[in-house]
Amino acid sequence: MSPLPHHSPVRARQRGSIAVSAAFAVLIGLVVLLSVQVGYLFYMKRELQKAADLAALSAAQVLVAGDDACAAGASPTLLAAKGAAVKNVAGIVDTIAASDVTVDCKLWDPNRPDAGGMYLFDPDPSKGERLNAVRVRIDKALGALIPSVVGGWIGGTQASVVAVAAASKPTAAFSVGSKLLGTESTGALMSLLRVVGVDPDLSLVGYEGLVGATITPAGLLRELGIPVTADLNVGDLNALLAANQVSVGQLLDAVVNLAGHDELLGLNAAVLNAIGASLNMDSLNVQLGTEAAEGAMRGLFAAITAPTTAQEALGIKLDALGLITSAIGVATAGNAAAIDIPASGLLSALGLDLSVKAAVVEPPSIGIGQARHGAIPGARAYTSQIRLNLNIGTSSSGLGGLLGALGTSITLPIFVDVVNAQGELTETMCSERPRKAAVEVKSAVLGACLGKPISMADAFSKKDMCATNMSADTEFVRLLGVSLLHGKVAPLSILPAPAEEVIVAEDGPPVSTSANPLALGATISGLLDELLSGSLSGGTQTKVDPLPADTAQTLADNYLNRIGPSITGTEISRIKNWMDTDGLVWKRPGGLLGLTSVTMPEEWVAKVASCRSGSTYGRDCVRGRLVSSLQSPNQCGLLSCILDPIVGLLLGTGDGANGLLQTILKPIVELLKLVAPALDGVGGALSSLLNTLGLNLGPVDVQLHSIDCGQVSLVY
């Protein structure tokens, strides 16, 4: 029998190990190929993301420059985004086409998240919202790096990337200042200090070291110890500023410290001492902000409006010297100072007195924000508005005293607002070197009204004193007891200047508007129309029949119960004012021999003088005189009875019917209107003449503190 063949176990084991090794080699190769393919996909997605980022940044830059609507077709924003995306992927295995890129222009608002977490919205123009962000999306089907079985497994993967770039709009800080009549050497700060009664010899030369020095609102708040949070929005910032008041000394010291000129702390103290000699320093505080409500009391900064962000406003640069001037204006607002007027021989001879007071009623402010956009107004700043109160009236001595005895008096309370101006940012020119801004200025040389204020305490603190604080009926002229002229002259805009746009350079000198054209014809026509419109009239005032005895006693007790047990001259005046307010002003004979007329309350004050003992009045005596006067009949003085109807016929009686004089003068006024253009020409020639002499009437100075032209950054 033949032996069986012999097989070596070693050789069999060798054949098995080769098969396993080959299998492992194939597996490793597949893993390597898969890794390469996956790595390629990650690489391509990263490149696509970089392309989307760069495309969004490029498009946002174009959006800043032109505020493009991002419409389809040849939109600059759309072309910039797609062009940047295509070029930044060029040369890679998988390139993209413009059709792979989707571009949307949106509003990015970090204070209100959307459902997708991108903070993107469609802007609402009615709220002042504008496009400020570009979203770029790239959708690309990625092919296989190695077309094989592996490529069949994972090739054709759809990759999608998104990038959002947001741009802040250009923001500017500027201020406006005015001067009624002056030369180029007139300093705004010195002029302001003169208004509040500070010694004009005070030297402010040291402040020249602040020229060119800038600080930021954020730095100012930090120096004043007012905390600012990172998530502050515009509304919160306005509220924060409006809610904080600091002393003028704190603010001046903070400004010079931030500007690096602590050597001026002594000058600050000198200015404060000078102001304190005229005003109560305890009441001089600076409100930092202005509330958003229309007509709100203005602070150092005018109201900041959207779409400016709080961070943009806080980082803008401000002129240090301008801040000091504005701060003093805000602190001294409403503090009237008497102005010394040399005695006039003519006025004294006529028995007249003249007194003048002045005050800052609307302080200067600094505007921060963006330019006008369509119907959305731009940032605004206001000049310092000065109010003058001129009182012309008969004196109590000499001829004035004699006229008073004859029932004749003149009272002319005149309020004049001097150079009220507003500047509105209309354009920022970031491509210019130096950068520039356009500001539209509206102003008027004078605004005036004639009449007594309802409250003299508010005469220098209300924004629109002439509109909100004027008595409805002021007696201006009384002749022999007859109210010859009474009423009021409503607010008048005298010599308004047309709106003018000025171009101001950053870090450049202030630019002044043109001199006022002195539109004399239009102004005179307006004044004549107002005077003849029936607002002024003569004749009798409101008549009230005397009261029955029981009504008189009840009313007298009512007045006396409203005062304390001790009656002094102050209480007598209060009772008279109550009767005037209640319309108990029928006429009574008065003056010399009863020839003229006085009102019943005036007659009562004269009669009650006999009730006085020392500094007080007997209560029963005062009551008896009051009850008697309340029952007195309506009766004019002898001369008043003759003159009153004549005056009413000439001037009208205030019941809507024109007097004879008004009827005669109206055709003359209409004729004067025909020559108004010629008068306007005369005014223009006069303005030009003043300008050649180095004097400007009503110029408004505009200063641009700084421009932040906006930054573009990726936000998603």
Task: For 630-642, write each residue's pLDDT tens digit.
Answer: 888 877 765 656 5
Binning pLDDT at 50, 70 and 90, where does residue 259 land? confident
Binning pLDDT at 50, 70 and 90, where does residue 181 land? very low
- Pick from 261-265, 349-353, 400-404, 526-530: least confident: 526-530
What pLDDT, on the 0 to 100 scale, is given for residue 126?
67
What pLDDT, on the 0 to 100 scale, is given for residue 186?
45
Bond before 307 cis per omega within 30 degrees: yes
d(CA 255, CA 4): 113
Dihedral over Cα of 108, 110, 114, 118: its sign? positive
Nearest-Å Rg of the Cα atoms of the chain is 40
What pLDDT, on the 0 to 100 scale, is given for residue 150?
46
What pLDDT, on the 0 to 100 scale, is given for residue 543?
47
Q: Provide CB contacts within 8 A for 680, sequence distance 6+.
A: 517, 518, 519, 520, 521, 522
Averaged pLDDT score across all residues of the chain: 74
Q: Is the pTM of this model over 0.85?
A: no
What pLDDT, on the 0 to 100 scale, is given for residue 542?
47
Angle in degrees, CA 643, 646, 652, rounded to 5 = 125
Higher per-residue confidence, 225 vs 533: 225
Q: Residue 695: is its pLDDT beyond 50?
A: no
Considering only CA atoms, which of 715, 488, 481 is closest in space to residue 603?
A: 481
Residue 439's DSSP bridge partners are 425, 502
Angle in degrees, CA 343, 344, 349, rounded to 5 = 120
CB 31 within 8 A of CB 39: no
Mean pLDDT of 232-250: 83
Binning pLDDT at 50, 70 and 90, where does residue 627 land? very high
Binning pLDDT at 50, 70 and 90, where does residue 178 land? low
What pLDDT, on the 0 to 100 scale, is given for residue 13?
52
Binning pLDDT at 50, 70 and 90, where does residue 624 land? very high
CB 418 within 8 A of CB 180: yes
d(CA 358, CA 191): 12
d(CA 402, CA 409): 10
- Pick from 189-193, 645-649, 651-655: least confident: 651-655
What pLDDT, on the 0 to 100 scale, is given for residue 681?
61
Q: Residue 701: is its pLDDT beyond 60?
A: yes
Mean pLDDT of 403-431: 79
Higher per-residue confidence, 198 vs 500: 500
Mean pLDDT of 191-199: 68
What pLDDT, on the 0 to 100 scale, is given for residue 683?
57
The 10s digit of each residue's pLDDT in 676-687 is: 565 566 556 655
The phi and psi torsions of 25 (rounded to 5 degrees) equal -65, -45
Q: Residue 400: is its pLDDT beyond 50?
A: yes
The 10s digit of each residue's pLDDT in 282-304 is: 678 888 888 766 666 778 888 87
Binning pLDDT at 50, 70 and 90, where does residue 611 land? very high
What pLDDT, on the 0 to 100 scale, is given for residue 180?
44
Long-range CB contacts (< 8 A, 24+ apart) of 614-621?
A: 615/568, 615/569, 616/566, 616/567, 616/568, 617/567, 617/568, 617/571, 617/572, 618/567, 619/560, 619/565, 619/567
Q: Provide CB contacts within 8 A for 116, sequence distance 6+.
A: none
What pLDDT, on the 0 to 100 scale, is given for residue 621?
93
The 10s digit of each residue's pLDDT in 414-426 is: 887 776 678 889 8
Most confident of 354-363, 489-498, 503-512: 503-512
Q: Residue 654: is its pLDDT beyond 80?
A: no
d(CA 500, CA 521): 21
Q: Residue 537: is its pLDDT beyond 80?
A: no
The 10s digit of each residue's pLDDT in 548-572 is: 888 888 889 989 988 888 899 889 9
d(CA 680, CA 525): 11
By CB atoms closer than 10 A (0-12, 13-18, 19+), residue 652 is buried
Mean pLDDT of 477-484: 66
Higher per-residue confidence, 512 vs 71: 512
Higher per-residue confidence, 198 vs 241: 241
Binning pLDDT at 50, 70 and 90, where does residue 182 land? very low
The 10s digit of each residue's pLDDT in 98-148 is: 778 888 888 887 767 777 777 888 877 666 677 778 888 888 877 666 655
Beta-carbon neighbour count of residue 640 at 10 Å? 27
Q: Write the Ramachandran bin of 518: left for phi over 0, alpha for psi from -120 to 50, otherwise beta.
A: left
Please give the full DSSP string across 138-153, using - where no structure is assigned.
EEEEE--SSTTHHHHH
What pLDDT, on the 0 to 100 scale, is given for residue 608?
92
Bond before 147 cis per omega within 30 degrees: no
Mean pLDDT of 364-385: 80
Helices 320-331 and 248-258, axial angle in degrees (round to 10) = 180
Considering only CA atoms, which of 455, 477, 468 is closest in space to residue 409?
A: 477
Q: Residue 492: is its pLDDT beyond 90?
A: no
3-state secondary structure 662-680: HHHHHHHHHHHHHCHHHHH
Distance between alpha carbon 401 and the CA centroid of its chain, in Å? 47
d(CA 707, CA 31): 58
Binning pLDDT at 50, 70 and 90, where does residue 529 land? low
The 10s digit of each residue's pLDDT in 328-354 is: 888 878 777 776 666 566 667 777 777
Percent of the chain predicted with pLDDT > 70: 66
Mean pLDDT of 455-469: 76
What pLDDT, on the 0 to 100 scale, is given for residue 89?
66
| Residue 437 vs residues 64, 172, 321: alpha-carbon distances, Å | 16, 8, 20
The phi and psi torsions of 33 (rounded to 5 degrees) equal -60, -40
What pLDDT, on the 0 to 100 scale, is given for residue 450?
80
CB 644 within 8 A of CB 539: yes
Q: Residue 176: is its pLDDT beyond 70?
A: yes
